[in-house]
Amino acid sequence: MSTRNLLFLFSALLVVSLGVGLTGTLINRHALMHAGILGSITAATGLVCTTLRRTNQLSDAEREAAYQAGYRLGLQHVTLGLFDPPPSGGTVVPLRPELPHQHERQAQ
């Protein structure tokens, strides 16, 4: 099944199960209310899983566009000189600032 069909199916199941649960609450039928709650939990779980699955699937075109964007960014960094050592007297901003050296503790 496609993701769109699964989203529609779980959305419809959520609406129906909420209606069943509300009807069971209003007419004081505990079995109907419990069935509605169970259906709602199942539908909500299905919606979350389907949405996660949809966001994790990239098409080939999207994957290629992300690769090209990263490649262009790398070329831009090379042209700006970000990968070259700074000239003498230049300012270096380290990505990870060096912390003061602390002595290692020995087990006693």
pLDDT tens digits, 55-100: 777 777 888 888 899 889 888 887 777 765 555 656 666 666 666 7
Q: What is the pTM of this model?
A: 0.53
Tokens of 98: 């060096």
The pLDDT, as a whole number, for residue 87 is 58
Question: For the range 35-39, what are the long-range contacts, defined as Cβ-Cβ under 8 Å and sequence gap of 24 or more?
Answer: 39/13, 39/14
Q: Would you kindly state where each structural domain of the chain is located, as residue ranges?
A: 3-58
